[in-house]
Structure 1
Amino acid sequence: MTRTLWTARSGAGRRAARTTGAPPALWVATAARGGIHGYTRALEATPLFTDWQVERLVTHDDGPLPRRLSLFARGAGTLLWRCLSARPSLVHLHSAAYGSFARKALLLWAARGVFRVPTVLHLHAGEFETFYGACPPLARALVRATLRRADRVITLSPALAAAVTRIAPGARVTVAANGVALAPAARVLARRAPRVLFAGVLIDRKDPVGLLRAWAACPRPPGARLVFAGDGPLRADLEALAAELGVSRSVDFRGWLDPAGVAAEMDQADILALPSHFEGQPLSLLEGMARGLALLSTRVGGIPDLIEDGVSGRLVPPGDPGALSAALAELLSDQDARARYGAAAYARAAHAFDIRRTWQSLDTVYRTLAQGAPRGPHD
């Protein structure tokens, strides 16, 4: 069962805070399975969490509605108490769209508007502009006001930053790309039947159904396999569809895996496929890049900032089964192309998406906004 609040601190972080008197930073995020949870967990191992004595406050998870309501109420109460009794250096709120944005907006206005604590609103939603367009006029006004009220809005990609600026001119926007820990070198792919991996929640917007249909439609080398590492509402439908299409013997459903399990699947894969309709900057693609996998994805959200089509992977239009099947067939049939794409993806990750760059970007934002910034061994 997820705890409402837990802290990630080390001796080094405590020493830095004692030296400067800087109060902790407070992170507000979800514990639900998905990219935001993976992102926040990855950063717990960096100096950002130790230097700033980050306290992580969970206000949402995968549980039933009564539990989620209770978790949000308790989380909101904890946030208000922290702001009142031990004013944090800042409050960093991690948000998707729709209900996630509404919850984080409420907490942002409480922290910034009532207690005058500096706030960072971190947008992870690739479909944020679509969400805004679907809002009624009053809700749009509240979205704009919230974006402007935040001391800093962080986006994962320049495309999302431009969308935020279009929605709320005057919002203070900074791009801080997702990051991952890099493998020592790009992996040399084995000369064997290729394995295609989908790693993520099995939901409509990630289009695992489209991937399965593309798998069934394209020519496949003997022994090739498609692996779904994830769970979700489409799991049963996918298993039934695999049987209907006659490909059950070449498709594996692993269920939801912990980070070590996902890493093990990536170490066995040759191609990482994510044919999403909406994305911000998916960690699964970055993790594949960090291992030198060939990538197959779509031209949505921040994905084109990760993958250059024909150089570090293949990009196809979302919801285009013919293009997806053709690109998948190309990757399955050409070992040398997989190796080239994987090496280029690894080089791109090393240049732009090393997690060290991520935490340093956030540290720069914190030092700009917060009073009593820590001065430790990383200065």
Structure 2
Amino acid sequence: MPEFPGQTHNFFWRERKALKELGVETSLISTRRPPLGVVSPTWAKDAQTETTYLFPFSFFDFLRAFIIMIRAGVCAWINCAKIITSVQDATLAGKVRLTLLIPFAAKLVWVSQRQGWRHVHVHSCADAANIAMLANALHGPTYSLTLHNPLSVYGPNQRQKWSRARFCIVITRKLYDEVTRTLVGFLPSRLVIAPMGVDVVQFNRHAPYRPYAGEGELCVFSCGRLNPSKGFPFLISAIKLLVDQGVNVRLTIAGEDDVGGTGYRRKLVALTAESGVSERVAFLGAVPEEIVSEHLEQAHVFVLASLAEPLGVALMEAMAMSVPVVATDGGGVPELIENGADGILVEPGDANAIAVAIMRVIGDPLFAVRLGQASRFKIVESFGHQRSARAIADLLAAR
């Protein structure tokens, strides 16, 4: 996993727990440590202690990598060279960068031999997958992939990474359609759909959901990385529209930007000031899922305004807590939410539509309760955290 444990990595930890329950013992390996400002889980310290990191490289790492590459032999070197030179969608600089990953691949081989690993499952299709692929070419462990986003997010060289994998998992039907359309002839024989999920025991209410009664503050909650793709400017604009209509609303956002608070967060804070809603919007930063659960317990509405959400663990967590959700219909979200039945879907980038949807929820308490109950039922039935773990366990057993 890249930069583990990050603020969105709770489902990795849940998946690992579920794998253990299925009898699959796992170890953790990551490319590097994440920035301190995005390390939020309560289990992060334990995870970092258990995790082997490929970067930074020590002198002894270079020595071990050199030994591994020598032992691999000329045929392995030629294989790596063929992989790199055959990449058709990378620039010369990209191929040089891929070459520079070989020592990290050799380190992965050395760690695998020391730990007795026979297989590595990669929760990424970018450099982490390149490293696993090159490690396999150096006579290292076999590997598999999980695709969490559109292929374009992960850069070039997808054909080689996918064709050499033992099996691959995609989290939505939309992503499945993309890879079967664009990677024809380069897919492994086993490709399955298995969404990540949430622990429905942990994400469960202590008290029944109470819809907004028109008195006090309307509590709107959102959770996600502070990234342009999450559409927070449109959510902030929607809050401004509600304030202008006289609604006593407060928006709380859990999540941090990718550099720990000194990047995109500053732009969002500035936007709240420009919009005149600074006192109506609170930024929590990266917080553990226990804090997320507490805020969901108090929320009247959960909103995720992403421009294109692959699926949405944050949405699943809110739905598991029986909170009515408003989300955009970009990406794979329609595979999670049926509009009007267990949530409300709006067009991405439409602040007015978000505001109208929030008003629809708070204007009909019975509708709000019905949405929350239906959403909880759907998550329990189809999006528990065991689902992806069971897919990995079954695919490993079949290999």
User: Same fold judged by TM-score > 0.5?
Assistant: yes
Q: 1:301 to 1:77 in 2, by over 3 A?
A: same
Q: Distance in 2 between matches of 1:34 and 1:164?
A: 27
Q: Distance in 2 between matches of 1:253 and 1:79?
A: 38
Q: Distance in 2 between matches of 1:328 and 1:147?
A: 42
Q: 1:149 to 1:68 in 2, by over 3 A?
A: closer
Q: Aligned AA for 2:252?
A: V
Q: Distance in 2 between matches of 1:365 and 1:103?
A: 23
Q: Distance in 2 between matches of 1:29 and 1:102?
A: 9
Note the C-alpha offset of 1:50.
7.4
Identity of aligned residues (%): 26
Structure 2 counterpart SS, 1:308 = coil
Q: Aligned AA for 1:352?
A: S
- Is this contact kept in 1: 2:105–2:134, CA < 8 A? no
Question: Is 1:224 equivalent to 2:249 in the alignment?
Answer: yes
Partner of 1:18: none
Note the C-alpha offset of 1:367.
0.9
Bigger drift between 50-59 and 306-315 goes to: 50-59
TM-score by length of 1: 0.77
Partner of 1:322: 352
Question: Is 1:55 equivalent to 2:41 in the alignment?
Answer: no
Structure 2 counterpart SS, 1:54 = coil
- Is this contact kept in 2: 1:276–1:318, CA < 8 A? yes
Q: Distance in 1 between matches of 2:161 and 2:211?
A: 50
Note the C-alpha offset of 1:151.
1.1
Partner of 2:143: 119
Q: 1:68 to 1:202 in 2, by over 3 A?
A: farther
Question: Is 1:208 equivalent to 2:236 in the alignment?
Answer: no
Q: Distance in 2 between matches of 1:74 and 1:121?
A: 21
Question: Is 1:296 equivalent to 2:326 in the alignment?
Answer: yes
Partner of 1:94: 123
Structure 1 counterpart SS, 2:112 = helix
Q: Aligned AA for 2:283?
A: F
1:17-36 correspondence to structure 2 within 5 Å: 28-31=1-4, 33-35=6-8
Q: Aligned AA for 1:51?
A: G
TM-score by length of 2: 0.74
Q: Distance in 2 between matches of 1:75 and 1:279?
A: 31
Q: 1:361 to 1:68 in 2, by over 3 A?
A: closer
CA distances 1:290-348 after superposition (whole Å, capped 9, x unpaired): 11111111112221111111111111121223322322332233322221111111111
Q: Distance in 1 between matches of 2:231 and 2:211?
A: 28
Q: 1:177 to 1:102 in 2, by over 3 A?
A: closer
Partner of 2:164: 149
CA distances 1:86-135 after superposition (whole Å, capped 9, x unpaired): 5423110011xxxxx3312322222433326331111111x32x447xx6
Partner of 1:163: 178
- Is this contact kept in 2: 1:195–1:270, CA < 8 A? yes
Structure 2 gaps of 5+ residues are 37-52, 58-100, 258-262
Structure 1 gaps of 5+ residues are 1-27, 96-100, 370-379
Greater C-alpha radius of gyration: 2
CA distances 1:258-285 after superposition (whole Å, capped 9, x unpaired): 2221221112112111111232222111
Partner of 2:377: 347
Query: Match for 1:335 among 347, 359, 365?
Result: 365
CA distances 1:20-79 after superposition (whole Å, capped 9, x unpaired): xxxxxxxx44315343x2221222332437722200001134339xx9962789964542
Q: Aligned AA for 2:6?
A: R
Structure 1 counterpart SS, 2:29 = strand
- Is this contact kept in 2: 1:196–1:271, CA < 8 A? yes
Q: Distance in 2 between matches of 1:275 and 1:119?
A: 35
Note the C-alpha offset of 1:239.
2.3
Q: Aligned AA for 1:310?
A: G
Q: 1:324 to 1:74 in 2, by over 3 A?
A: farther
- Is this contact kept in 2: 1:216–1:245, CA < 8 A? yes
Partner of 1:257: 287
- Is this contact kept in 2: 1:299–1:316, CA < 8 A? yes
Question: Is 1:82 equivalent to 2:111 in the alignment?
Answer: yes
Partner of 1:39: 11
Partner of 1:196: 220
Two-structure CA RMSD over aligned residues (Å): 2.7
Q: Distance in 2 between matches of 1:31 and 1:50?
A: 23
